[in-house]
Amino acid sequence: MQRLVLDTENPNYKELRALAQKINQGALVIFPTDSVYAIGCLMTNRKGIEKICKVTQKKEKQAKMSIICPNISTISQYTTQIENPIFREMKRLLPGPYTFILNSNNYVQKYFKNNKEEIGVRIPENKIVSALLEQLEAPLISTSLNRIGNPDAYYIDPDKIFDDFQYEVDLLLDGGMGEEELTTVLDCTDGEISVLRMGKGIYQ
């Protein structure tokens, strides 16, 4: 595993550009968000998605993957039409510690074995992730970093991450200690917003 320690306020773009090239070529990456650390790959990397499931010891359906997007306009490329009230809430809350569950379109579904009809979308409030996404050919597909055998133990310590995953994952973006709280998950698949999980993000 290649480990790169980055300034959370002013990440080194040159270093990120080199790592982004590796991700574009198929590398798996563990990265900080505005909650726990996540593991991901390029959204179009079918083999990478399979490897994420292997590393986390989860079946694809259990992995609860989300697309990490650089901005809201990008999200619409991977979902069916978003209702205006939901779009307004996304604009109000993002970037931030929220996962919106939306109906995926055919483009997304072709990269999953089970023709995934729903997909989480995220825009983390994290400068490292934002800078990385600028260099990638597509958004990241990711899931929170834990293993199925210990589903409530999410990783926030980059030293622990390195020790446990150094022989399984290609890259670690070290942004220091992560947050302990998970994202707030909002289900928007029926045209309205319902809270599936209350987490770090405040929603009423």
Confidence of residue 116 (pLDDT cuts 50, 70, 90): low
Tokens encoding 160: 């622990």
Other CB atoms within a 10 A radius of the CB of residue 194 amount to 11
- Residue 204 in any domain: the answer is no
Domain extent at residue 49: 2-197
* pLDDT tens for each residue of 58-94: 877 767 889 999 999 899 888 988 999 999 999 999 9
Residue 101: inside a domain, yes or no?
A: yes
Residue 188 contacts by C-beta under 8 Å, 6 or more apart in sequence? 82, 83, 86, 100, 101, 102
Amino acid 65: pLDDT:
87
Q: Kind and range of the H or E element at 39? A: strand 38-42
Q: How many domains does the chain have?
A: 1
73: CB partners within 8 A, 6+ apart: none
203 inside domain: no
Burial zone of 71 (CB within 10 Å; 0-12 exposed, 13-18 middle, 19+ buried):
exposed
Q: Which amino acid is at 15?
A: E
- Does 202 map to a domain? no
Whether 176 is in a domain gets the answer yes
The CATH number of the domain where 30 resides is what? Answer: 3.90.870.10
- Give the CA angle between residues 27, 107, 105 to the nearest 5°: 125
d(CA 204, CA 195): 9
* 127: in domain: yes
How sure is the predictor about 113, in pLDDT bands with cuts at 50, 70 and 90? Answer: low
Residue 183 counted as domain residue: yes
Structure tokens at 118: 């729903």
Percentage of the residues of the chain whose pLDDT score is greater than 90: 72
Predicted TM-score (pTM) of this structure = 0.92
